[in-house]
A = this chain, B = another copy of it.
Amino acid sequence: MIGVMALEHAILVSLLEKPGSGYELARRFDRSIGYFWTATHQQIYRVLKRMEQDGWVDVRDVPQQGRPDKKEYSVADLGRAALTSWLHDPIEPESVRHDLAVKIRGAAFDDDPAALTREVERHRQAHRDRLAHYLAGQARDFPESEPGEAAPRAPLDAERELQHVVLRGGIAYERMMIDWLDDVLATLARFGPGR
């Protein structure tokens, strides 16, 4: 078996970090985990059901005051074994899908290339927003990391260190994207007015 079905594994990692309900998982997938994996609540509930049937997770009904009851999921032994197995299984270096790159090459055949400039500026702003959000998260959750320093000075526990290095990856990605979109805008400006 090759590296497939990663949503299950992302859920397992998230539940190992902290047990929670489908709703809570959906919110995490809009935040920290969502930085490198997206999933809607519909998908999460469906997969969670299957994982429960397969014995990967345990469920516990949690009555709540002031809000609807919830089902709290936690990782069972079988789930942990499945995760370990997946972790030891090599995966293919991911194949990227960049809609925006398709649009940029497509702009050569567009009568109105100014539309692309506006679109690229929108995306650039979105990446700036995301970068600001990541940096705020880093300052809040990893205050020990000095600005300009790639790594914390003293070794911490593995879980936190690994969360931090993933966050640094997100930060590097957003910075790269902003720089590249600047390059795209400069390129568009160079031949745009002369058309």
Known contacts A87-B115, A106-B13, A179-B172; is-contact A37 B184 (Cβ 8 Å): no
Closest to A129 in B: B93
Known contacts A109-B80, A191-B158; is-contact A97 B150 (Cβ 8 Å): no
A46 to B106, CA, bound (A): 22
Tell whether A186 is near chain B: CB-to-CB under 8 Å.
Answer: yes
Distance in angstroms from A9 CB to nearest chain B CB is 6
Q: Is the interface of A mostly helix, strand, loop or mixed?
A: helix
A129 to B122, CA, bound (A): 32
Tell whether A151 is near chain B: CB-to-CB under 8 Å.
Answer: yes
Residues of B within 8 A of A38 (CB): 95-97
A100 to B170, CA, bound (A): 12
Residues of B within 8 A of A106 (CB): 9, 12-13, 16, 83, 86-87
B169 touches A180 (CB 8 A): yes
Residues of B within 8 A of A186 (CB): 150-151
A180 to B84, CA, bound (A): 24
Which A residues, 1 to 31, have Cβ-Cβ distances below 8 Å to chain B?
3, 6, 9-10, 12-13, 16-17
Instruction: Produce 1/0 per residue, A117-130, CB < 8 A to B.
Output: 00100110011001
Which A residues, 78 to 122, have Cβ-Cβ distances below 8 Å to chain B?
80, 83-84, 86-88, 90-91, 93-113, 115-116, 119, 122
Residues of B within 8 A of A126 (CB): 93
Task: List residues of chain A with CB under 8 Å of any chain B CB.
Answer: 3, 6, 9-10, 12-13, 16-17, 34-38, 80, 83-84, 86-88, 90-91, 93-113, 115-116, 119, 122-123, 126-127, 130, 150-151, 155-156, 158-159, 161-166, 168-169, 172-173, 175-176, 179-180, 183-184, 186-187, 190-191, 194-195
